[in-house]
Chains A and B, each alone.
Chain A
Amino acid sequence: MKITKETVRDKQGYRLHILPTTKYKTVSIVAKFKAPLKREGITERALLPHVLHKATNNHPNVRLLQSALEDLYGTGFSSDGSKKGENHVLSFRMEVVNESYLNESEPILEKALNIFHDVLFNPKVVDNGFDEAIVKREKQTLEQKITSIKDDKMSYANLRLIDNMCEEEPYSLHVHGYLEDLKKITAKSLYEHYLGMIENDVLDVYVIGGVDEAGIEALSDQTFTRVNSDNQGEHLESEPFHPTESKEIVEREEVNQGKLHIGYRTHIKFGDDDYYALQIFNGLFGGFPSSKLFMNVREKHSLAYYAASRFESHKGLLLVFSGVDPKDYNQAKSIILDQMEAMKQGDFSDEQVTDAKEQVVNQLQETMDNANGLIEVLYHQMLSGSTIQSEELMENIRNVTKEDVVKVAEKIELDTIYFLTSQEGGDE
């Protein structure tokens, strides 16, 4: 197996990460803007990518902008905002067909990067503000998105768990923003916010695919160079938080299935020594179909179709989620809590630890086969300031012992149990 290695170069106003590989028929370019996660400005940051996507000075409306991308063999362009611990990251992703697979000799990549540049640095501006009509319409769309989070019960339950669990911490901020703030945003105020982001955010650019390093470096400089910014910026680390006692919250909606979500504090983050053991812990506890949650909640008691766990790498949280009948709340809850107890007691075999390690390594290698997956792994590493080679990463996972996993389990604290259930209840 070949592992793709990145080269990182500090450039004017951005850091360039190049990963040449022949794995793909396309070239992926991802630009990541990072700023501290704050209530102030979060709604603007949620709105910005949508407005930027609609028009540039060279493509003054959405049809012209989209047609230009379509003409470049349907170049894909998307953006999103996400939380990485106490930081907020806006990602802009472009995927361009590798010219060598096409019959034509057109500089597709160069043309696509010109559009990328325009979207980020040359948006449509009228009188020191964005286009009023575009901003107005995108505010409506975002409003709808904020309101309809409730319609996807799994995401909604997750949101409510974090609301309750991290009440006092920036991490509880909603990535889509807030309705009351949205109302106040104008075409001018958003543009000012945009200028601040372009000047102050830390920008990392990843290029992955069959590219020539020197050629792509020159193209990137044309596209991403910024005048003022340094490449350091402010980076916020989560403060440790120890719950004094756990909370239990039951909310009611018109649902057929109850959503039982449980939040734990692991106090372990990406880059920590015991992060590898946490990955194995999660594999044994709820990460795979062989895990305790799947085997007990689903296979043994037939209470759920899914019962699983995942961890938030930069925030030190472990989240359990499962969908159960409202009447089975107490039974499902106590089975889940028992599984955590069993983990703390070391109630699993060395053989299971070995299996989990193979699973985690397998998953990691698969993630790195995928362009966006690989970029996420590398970006996580960079944020945590602990860049290590993939071989070492896997070696560290393989070195985890049963004792390491038990030590991790002992650190984990129950914080919040959240249950979204039907109006009729049945939680007793």
Chain B
Amino acid sequence: MEALTYKQLNETVYSETMENGLQVFLLAKPEMAKTFGIFTTNYGSIDQTFTPIGKEEQVTVPEGIAHFLEHKLFEKEDRDVFQDFTKQGASANAFTSFTKTAYLFSATSQIEKNVETLLDFVQDPYFSKESVEKEKGIIGQEIRMYDDQPDWRSFFGTIQSLYHKHPVRVDIAGTVDSIEDITKDDLYTCYETFYHPSNMVLFVAGNIEPEKMMEQIRSNQNRKEFKGIPKIERFYPEEPAEVAKSEASITMPVTTAKAMIGVKEDVSALDGAELVRAELLSGMILDYYFSKSGEFYEQLYKEDLIDSSFQYETELDRQFGFTILGGDSRKPDELAARVKEMLHQLKDNHISEEDFKRMKRKKIGQFMRALNSMEFIANQFTHYHMLGVDLFDVLPTIESLTTSDADQYVENWIKEDSISVFQVNPQTNA
């Protein structure tokens, strides 16, 4: 077991790679009542085409399968794992993103048992034909719920405009039709390929004794058999640099229209550290212009083009990246045109040393605030780790950024064919 201490932040992270390849990280927070554990596999909705373990030919599985698998892992032959956690005073949950599937619990007692349950249920799949069929009704309603949410529709609408073929454009839960095709054999194929311990990370944070917990995890893993450490082959379609559609819209029963401006980011040449650096720079530049202290925000707000729902985010990951800005607007066409114009202007502007220093302080403060949350630490540490970056190195990285880094970043950022506008328009019925 290794210990890494981050002096300024007064945190120590313990880590070890198990014989089967599983990476384990522990963070002791004795002042907390709670312990949070999250077991993550490096497998998400974009991993649709791959060579199954032990096979030669690549396969393409139905849309929404990573998420479906997440649901089904909780069900065993004789019971529902939610009940096991309940009996142990814990609450459990799971989520699927574009690139990851994660299983988690939080509890204030019986921590050893709960960690054991977390490892065991994820490492012991049981799928039957009947239970797969039953789940289709539940996930069908989950998809319907999102269908009624204008924010979700505009988020995915924007991504679909940005991407031609890449599976990031597919809704993480799939569609009511695509999940119909999922079989128990498909689930086993995906499980066996992507849930090998060497493709997974366990992070436990909270009221724990690291030595003892590491020993427990070690013996849990040593009890189980896994074949070798396979190399996973995933395939993604060739994705053009330019956007799929420069404009698109849908009509929905909303009271206020929405306009979202998407920027397709080229991440193909960036390694993990560069991705994180780019994400930080992008966030600071967007903050400078589009946060409530920003000059662009002020213009848009005064002219009644935006309201408090206006948001922006940059998400860069392996294989894809995008920036999305927008929100509710009474004049969505005008908002879209103005934001596009502002984005193009970025390279003609320059952020002063003083302003850039303020943005750095803001980022540092945001990061420190986020560190109050063990969930944030565990999730984000895992995410960065899978990109080959240490979460706690983010602080010195922010410190090191300069205005010339920002200038250089905007210089190559916005291109006409990397922008797409997506609108949600109200139905105009009488």
Interface residues, chain A, CB within 8 Å of chain B? Answer: 1-3, 21-26, 62-63, 66-67, 70-76, 95, 97-98, 101-103, 137, 140-141, 144-145, 147-148, 150-153, 253-257, 288-290, 298-299, 302-306, 323-325, 355, 358-359, 361-363, 365-366, 368-369, 371
Is residue B275 within 8 Å, beta carbon to beta carbon, of the partner chain?
no
Complex alpha-carbon distance, A71 and B354, angstroms: 10
Is residue B318 within 8 Å, beta carbon to beta carbon, of the partner chain?
no
Residue of A nearest to B11 (CB): A25
Most buried by B among A355, A363, A366, A371: A366
Check if A303 sits within 8 Å of B307, measured CB to CB.
no
Check if A148 sits within 8 Å of B369, measured CB to CB.
no
Residue of B nearest to A71 (CB): B358
Counting contact residues on chain B (CB < 8 A from A), the size range is 35 or more
A-B contact pairs, 22 of them (CB 8 A): A1-B108, A23-B372, A24-B372, A63-B294, A67-B293, A67-B358, A70-B291, A73-B365, A74-B361, A74-B366, A97-B368, A101-B8, A289-B86, A299-B80, A304-B141, A305-B142, A358-B88, A359-B86, A359-B91, A362-B89, A366-B106, A369-B34
Complex alpha-carbon distance, A323 and B107, angstroms: 28
Q: 8 nearest interchain CB pairs? A: A302-B137, A73-B365, A74-B365, A358-B89, A66-B293, A74-B362, A254-B253, A305-B142
Task: Give residues of chain B (368-406) contacting chain A, Cβ–Cβ below 8 Å.
Answer: 368-369, 371-372
Check if B32 sits within 8 Å of A23, measured CB to CB.
yes
With A151-B255, A303-B137 in contact, do A2 and B304 touch (Cβ < 8 Å)? no
Check if B137 sits within 8 Å of A73, measured CB to CB.
no
Residues of B within 8 A of A289 (CB): 82, 86, 91-92
Partner of B254, one of A148, A304, A325: A148
Residue of B nearest to A259 (CB): B148
Is residue B428 within 8 Å, beta carbon to beta carbon, of the partner chain?
no
Interface residues, chain B, CB within 8 Å of chain A? Answer: 8-10, 29, 31-34, 80, 82-83, 86-92, 106-109, 134-139, 141-142, 144-145, 147-150, 207, 252-256, 291-295, 298, 301-302, 304, 307-308, 328, 330, 358-359, 361-366, 368-369, 371-372, 427
Residues of A within 8 A of B142 (CB): 305
Complex alpha-carbon distance, A253 and B145, angstroms: 14
CB distance from B128 to the nearest CB of A (A): 15
CB distance from A70 to the nearest CB of B (A): 4
CB distance from B200 to the nearest CB of A (A): 23
CB distance from B333 to the nearest CB of A (A): 17
Residues of B within 8 A of A21 (CB): 31
CB distance from A157 to the nearest CB of B (A): 11
Complex alpha-carbon distance, A10 and B87, angstroms: 43
